[in-house]
Amino acid sequence: MKISFTTIARGDDSAYGAPARLLIPHHARWEAVWRRHVSDLSPPPIPKIDFDREAVLAVFSEEERTAGHRVEIVAVEQQGAC
């Protein structure tokens, strides 16, 4: 079953520093990931998430030496019983 989702942020500049695929179910973890992501940048405010109803999926790739590389979440599907 497909699950609807909203893209919070995307871009080619992140200070996360390591490839990662994260499921973030609560605010404390979200705050830590966001701070790490924007630590080298002029930090925008942390996007507000209602963790009683939602979770965050975050994907970070390794740094590439050339332009034109991107990772993107294009679909979210539920598998099995939840």
pLDDT in tens, 17-66: 889 999 999 999 999 999 999 887 677 889 999 999 999 999 998 877 77
Based on the structure, what is the number of domains in the chain?
1
Tokens of 8: 């919070």
- Round to whole Å and give the CA distance between 27 and 80: 26
Give the pLDDT band of residue 82 (cuts 50, 70, 90).
low
Residue pair 43/15 in contact (Cβ under 8 Å)? The answer is no
Range of the domain at 62: 1-82
pTM of the model: 0.80
